[in-house]
Structures are given as structure tokens and as C-alpha cells.
């Protein structure tokens, strides 16, 4: 299927048959998909991802909000170019991107399902992020839900925040948890970890990061007040 025909399917069959909605900026978008030929394969805070049965090696990422984020993601893909560990941008429209499909299981779901995560996956992501930095990008918001493994290979499936400035510690924190907790205590036998526990860990980590920022701000304010 040529890209022109694929875009026609997006415009006439996908977009009119989906509804994306959300009530909370920090929760994933809810997807209502009435199409018979387009399948929903993922959803995040800003967008949802679909594939068509006639072209399963391509996906469409449809933004439900924030066109600013869509434009920034297009810029990121153009800077990134082609690399094995990232997707490739083929085309884009007013509120969607056409991307190469990367199949596999997210690290988050691998832990839930009891699938061992080999060290080679972590190393692949490290090398991919170094490549992104070499292209003038800033690997931001890299975590267990946007890293996919297929066999012993690792892939980054969401680079939408790589344009942001500042330091994001999520990948560093994940690697530290992998080395200090996952590898010595979970990897060898690896029982399935219930979703409720993983979700609790995710929310606890988010709360911890917010609390850390608040403490840092309060400490800085106290230092400033001390000299006034």
C-alpha cells in the first residue's frame, strides 16, 4: 500500500470513527474506536496509536489534544533521522503522525507478565539515548511504559518530549532500580507482578518526585530568606 492510499484510509475511515477524551492531564486518553479495520494498540496522555490490518508494519499516532506537542514531535523525528532503536516518521497530518511500527512488550508490562528483561535491553536504550544527544536532542521522560523489548533488543517508542530542556532523571532512576532491585531479586525467577502493585509503584514514584521538587524549592527559599 502506498502512503497516499494509507493517508486516505486515515482521513476517511480512522479519524471519523474514533473519539479521544480525557478528564485528567496526568491520566491516559480514553479511546472509543468504532472502526472495523483500524485497531487500537496504545494510548498515552496526549495521543492514541492505531494500526490497519492491511499495513501492520505502520502505525498512526493520533493526538487528542495539544497540537503544539504534535509539531514538536515532528521536529524531533526530523532531527533524529533513522536509527534502529527508534521509529521512523513517514508522513503527518493536522493531528496525526504515520510511523514505523515497533513490536514488542513494554518493560512495564514485561514485569507484570513475568517476562525477564535482559541487560542487553538496558544497554540498547543507553546507546540509543546517546545517539539522540549527539543529534542535539534531550532524552526526556524515558520510562518503563515507552521502552519496548523484542527478544533481547530494546527500543524507545515515544520521543515526543525529547525537545524539552532540563534534566529528567526517569531513565537514570529506572536503571538504578534495575541494577539494585530487579536484577538481584526478581530477574532469575521473575514471578508475575500484579498490575495493582506496579501501578502503586508508578504513582508512588510520581509522588516522590513531586515531593522532592517541593523540598528543593523550600530549601532554596530558606537559603534566600537567610540572606535577606
DSSP result, 149-190: EETTEEEE---TTTT--S---HHHHHHHHIIIIIIIIITTT-
- For 119-139, the pLDDT digits (tens) are 999 999 999 999 999 999 999
| Cα torsion through 214, 217, 221, 224, rounded to 10 | 160
Per-residue pLDDT, 199: 86
Per-residue pLDDT, 218: 60
Instruction: Using the predicted structure, report yes or no on whether residue 21 has a pLDDT greater than 80.
Output: yes
Instruction: Using the predicted structure, report yes or no on whether residue 112 has a pLDDT greater than 70.
Output: yes
Return mean pLDDT, the chain. Answer: 90
192-196, Cβ contacts within 8 angstroms, sequence gap of 24 or more: 192/112, 192/113, 192/114, 193/111, 193/112, 193/114, 194/112, 195/112
How far apart CA 161 and CA 34 sit, in angstroms, is 30
| Residue 91, helix vs strand vs coil | strand
Amino acid at each position: 500500500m502506498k502512503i497516499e492510499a494509507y493517508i486516505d484510509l486515515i482521513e476517511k475511515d480512522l479519524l471519523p470513527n474514533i473519539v479521544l477524551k480525557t478528564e485528567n492531564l496526568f491520566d491516559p486518553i480514553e479511546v472509543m474506536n468504532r472502526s472495523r479495520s483500524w485497531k487500537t494498540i496504545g494510548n498515552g496522555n496526549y495521543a492514541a496509536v492505531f494500526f490497519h490490518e492491511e499495513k501492520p508494519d505502520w502505525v498512526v499516532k493520533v493526538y487528542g489534544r495539544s497540537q503544539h506537542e504534535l509539531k514538536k514531535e515532528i521536529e524531533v523525528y526530523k532531527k533524529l533521522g533513522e536509527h534502529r532503536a527508534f521509529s521512523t516518521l513517514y508522513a503527518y497530518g493536522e493531528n496525526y503522525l504515520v510511523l514505523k511500527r515497533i513490536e514488542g512488550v513494554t518493560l512495564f508490562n514485561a514485569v507484570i507478565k513475568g517476562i525477564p528483561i535482559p541487560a542487553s535491553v538496558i544497554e540498547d536504550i543507553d546507546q540509543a539515548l546517546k545517539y539522540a544527544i549527539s543529534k542535539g536532542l534531550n532524552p526526556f521522560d524515558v520510562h518503563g511504559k515507552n521502552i519496548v523489548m523484542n527478544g533481547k533488543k530494546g527500543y524507545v517508542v515515544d520521543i515526543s518530549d525529547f525537545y524539552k530542556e532540563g534534566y529528567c532523571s526517569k531513565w537514570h532512576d529506572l536503571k538504578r532500580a534495575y541494577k539494585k532491585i530487579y536484577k538481584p531479586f526478581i530477574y532469575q525467577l521473575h514471578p508475575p507482578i500484579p498490575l495493582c502493585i506496579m501501578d502503586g509503584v508508578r504513582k508512588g514514584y510520581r509522588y516522590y518526585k513531586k515531593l522532592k521538587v517541593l523540598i528543593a524549592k523550600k530549601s532554596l527559599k530558606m537559603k534566600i530568606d537567610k540572606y535577606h
